Amino acid sequence: MAENCNHDCSSCGEACSSRKSESLIKEPHKLSKIRKVIAVVSGKGGVGKSMTSALLACASQKAGYNTAIMDADITGPSIPKMLGIHERAMGSEAGILPVRSDGGMQVMSMNVLLNHEDDPVVWRGSLISGTVLQFWTDVVWTDVDYMFIDMPPGTGDVPLTIFQSVPLDGIVIVTTPQDLVGMIVKKAVNMAGMMNIPILGIVENMSYITCPDCGRKISVFGESQVDAIALEHGITNVVKVPIDRSLTEAADSGKIETFDHNYYEAFFNRIDEQLKNRK
């Protein structure tokens, strides 16, 4: 502590032990009510992160929770298409209103704000991060038990903004079996550790394919890496999801809510139990 300290840290440049770190957490819209927030992350694209976000949200909704999805992948939004949502979001004097899926989930995505679904979003990083933050602060989320945030890949501007500004209850990491992806997953694990965000589980997508003739599991993309990664970092909630053509067809046709997602239901139930036991 400086000798002539007046205990007003806002006007002081000294790095002393009495200085309190300033929280960057932002409050949601004053009319919003959001109980639990889980971010779905990956170290790279193309591993099924958006699919995982949608299916975890479906599992939450099926379990009886009021569920929402914030699509934070501004330049590559895909959540609305998976859910068969094509209408635009509306606004009121109170704020922006999320759209609702056929199953009742609240959704906010860049694609429900564009004039046309295939319009590109050609923005720089600061504008993208600001828009994602507005999805949290300016959208009226009504009585949400679980919100899932579909993050863009990597550890750049948007993940950092979400980690610092939104009160996350934890993250789910999505990967595939390749050794290269396993290395990148460790980056996401380490970033979560740096930001003091709990890891609620790991999903290994495209883990294997089941032979339709003999039932044997075939590791198309190589042997699984997820067990070793989970063991290394003390993560107990792991699910290996096979390649399933019917799942792809359901997502492409906007009928993901009607898909029988047993893998994700069991995975979500374990997350739900973790968070209940944390109290």
The answer to whether the CB of 202 falls within 8 A of the CB of 228 is: no
Longest dimension (CA), the chain: 80
What pLDDT was estimated at residue 200?
Answer: 96
pLDDT for the residue numbered 187:
84
- Helix axis angle for 125-137 and 157-165, nearest 10°, is 30
- For residue 91, what pLDDT is reported? 87
What single-letter amino acid sits at 205? N
* Region of 146 on the Ramachandran plot (φ > 0 left; ψ -120 to 50 alpha; else beta): beta
pLDDT tens string, the chain, 279 residues long: the values are: 455 665 555 445 454 544 444 678 999 999 999 999 999 998 778 889 999 999 999 999 999 999 999 999 999 899 999 999 999 999 888 889 999 999 999 999 999 999 888 898 888 888 999 999 999 999 999 999 999 999 998 778 898 899 999 999 999 999 888 767 777 778 888 888 888 999 999 999 999 998 888 989 999 888 888 888 889 888 999 999 999 999 999 999 999 998 887 889 999 999 999 999 986
Take residue 164 and report the two structure tokens written for it.
């610092």
pLDDT at 16: 56
* pLDDT score, position 61: 96
